Every structure is written in structure tokens, then in C-alpha cells.
Amino acid sequence: MPLVAHTDLPTFERLREEGEEIIDPKRASHQEIREIHIGLLNMMPDAALEATERQFFRLVGACNQIAQFHVHPFTIEGLPRSAETQAHIDKYYEPFSKIKEDGLDALIISGANVTGSYLPDEDFWEPLTEVFSWAKENVTSILCSCLATHAIIHYCYGVARTRLPEKRWGVFSHTLVDRTHPLVVEINTRFDVPHSRFNEIFQSDMEKHGLRVLVASAEAGVHLATSEDGFRIVFFQGHPEYDDISLLKEYKREVLRFYRDEISDYPPYPKHYFNAELKAIFHSYTQKIKLAKAQGAALPEFPEHLVRPYLDNTWRDTAKAVFNNWLGKIYQITHQDRRIPFMDGIDPKNPLGISLR
């Protein structure tokens, strides 16, 4: 069922232009359909803030449950913002105080870009853990993405992320580790997921602390895991929400950093993302960039228009299926009329009634 455009957030209009079904509040008020309220704690940097909105809104809107989905974006202190981005947040995002007052059925916490090695030293650490502590007691399920996964596992289990020898960057093949868990029923047993990170929490450390690993890659590590109970906290290390061009945009930013002498080495290709045709195009472009840099010439135009037709999205259908399973369980658990998670005899430590390891 569709997303409800309950505010003037520009993301709703962008999704309409893409062909997504978005309904206005007046039409929604005449439908006898249950509301599901989902918070999106968006911690992404300015350049990716609105794209992250669209990506997660799109996955929620693809759910086939008979419900109206209201997504409530908000953010926290401790994240550097430009004046323009702060104006967007002030106009369209909700304060956390209102989120707490109104309540949520579910919460998504995005990743973030940080330069420090120790997450508790980051300015956003205390605001993030405040949101998480509230959500753990008041929200049915919390879905953490990438850095949020690392932060919450550190906060809950004391497991610090490990710096990788090189950036884990590209599109990697994954397999189901647990084929019976409700989050992964009726999805492909092997599928792709994009990754983009410098750090990792390893499968052995997750399992040592009772986390349930559901999806992993021999090359990229764990993608999907859950808390001990199987549902209260969902952890992504990959980025199933990414668009087909997301890694291309990241590659473009890295090329620009090289041209500006912000990094010394020309960036490698994201693994398993560019086919032979794209590599040929970018090989030629690499020579132009290096020559322009050496001669102090203008930056050559990035060949995005040439490469976009060759980009494939090999992960979105599976991402939609996992989100549908997640939201479907939330729909089952939450009370018909009130957004209070654990009622009517539901065990908060095992809300799905599933067999725990």
C-alpha cells in the first residue's frame, strides 16, 4: 500500500515523478485502512541526505501490507550541516520530542560518515544512544543501517568495529545463513547487496554475543543479522536501499578528491559493479584526469551519461522482500488502534513467538 504525503517534504513529489503511488492526507482520511508510523533517523551527510530519504521511503512504500505508511524523518545533534541542509531539516523534519510524544511502530536509523576511529568519541554518540534507548523500550522493531549497526552493537554489546585494510566497496554476492527466519522467508537464497564502508563487525563477534546472522558473504562479511530475540533490532552492514547509481556517485566523489589532492591514489573501481564496457570508459577517463591534474587543467567532464545505461540493479527486489517481511511482522505485532508495541500477552523478549537458538 502507498505512502501518505502527510507533510510537504519534497521527497514525496520526487517519488511521484518516479511513478510511486503517494496519496495525500485527505484521501487517506477516507480510507478504512490501518496506519503504520515509521521513524527515519537520517544521519547521512548533506550530499546524501535527501537521496537517503527517497531510498528508504521507496522501500517502505513497496510493502504489500494493507496499511497506510507514514514515515517521519528526523535527525540528531552532533552532525555537521550546511545552512542549506539545516534549513531543509528545520522545515521538513520533526523534532525528536514530537516523535517521542506521538510514538512510532518502527524505526529506521541510517548510516553516517565519520572520520574518527572510536564511535563513542563522536559528537552524535550521546544523542544517538538517547534515541536508541527510547526506541528499545517504546518501538516494536529498530532497523539499523551500516554505521548505525556498528554504533548500536558497540553500545549494546561492547564490540568495537574493526578497521579494514581497504574500503569494502562494491556489489557482493550473499547467501542465506538461516533460511527459516521470518525476515528472509520466500526470498532468493543467493543475491547481491552493495557495501560501502571502511570498518566491519565480524560474524564471529556477532555470534559470540548471541546475535542471529541471517545473510552473509564470503567476500564482504555479514549483511543481515538480528538481536537475540530475532526481531527487536535488525542490523544491516550493507546498503540494500542504494539506487543503481549510488556507488557511481561515490566513485565520482572519490575521483574529484583525487583531482583536488585530497587523496594521493586514484580510486579503485567498486568491485563487481562496472562491467567491461564501463571499465573501458573509465580507463580512458582516468588518463584524462591524471593529465589534467598534472597540467593544472580544468576537470574533465565525468562520463555519467555514457555509463548509466550499463548499470544494473541486482539487489532491489530482495531488499523489497526483506522490508515487506519486516513491516509485515510489525503489522502483526502492533495493536490495531494504538501504537504501543507489547500488549495482549505478547512477550517483548520474543515478540514473534519464534524458536530461539
Three-state DSSP string of the chain: CCEECCCCCHHHHHHHHCCCCEECHHHHHCCCCCEEEEEEECCCCHHHHHHHHHHHHHHHHCCCCCCEEEEEEECCCCCCCCHHHHHHHHHHCCCHHHHHHHCCCEEEECCCCCCCCCHHHCCCHHHHHHHHHHHHHHCCEEEEECHHHHHHHHHHHCCCCEEEEEEEEEEEEEEECCCCCHHHCCCCCEEEEEEEEEEECCHHHHHHCCCEEEEEECCCEEEEEECCCCCCEEEECCCCCCCCCHHHHHHHHHHHHHHCCCCCCCCCCCECCCCHHHHHHHHHHHHHHHHHHHHCCCCCCCCHHHHHHHCCCCCHHHHHHHHHHHHHHHHHHCCCCCCCCCCCCCCCCCCCCCCCC
pLDDT of amino acid 33: 87
Separation of alpha carbons 83 and 327, rounded Å = 35
Question: Which active-site residues does the annotation give?
Answer: 146, 239, 241
Contact of 225 with 216, CB cutoff 8 Å: no
Domains of the chain: 3-242+313-333 (3.40.50.880), 246-310 (no CATH)
Contact of 206 with 156, CB cutoff 8 Å: no
pLDDT of amino acid 344: 42
Tens of each residue's pLDDT in the chain, 357 residues: 689 999 999 999 999 999 999 999 999 888 888 999 999 999 999 999 999 999 999 999 999 888 999 999 999 999 999 999 999 999 999 999 999 999 999 999 999 999 888 999 999 999 999 999 999 999 999 999 999 999 999 999 999 999 999 999 999 999 999 999 999 999 999 999 999 999 999 999 999 999 999 999 999 999 999 999 999 999 999 999 999 999 999 999 999 999 999 999 999 999 999 999 999 999 999 999 999 999 999 999 999 999 999 999 999 999 999 999 999 999 999 854 444 443 344 454 454 454 433
Separation of alpha carbons 273 and 279, rounded Å = 10
Separation of alpha carbons 334 and 342, rounded Å = 7
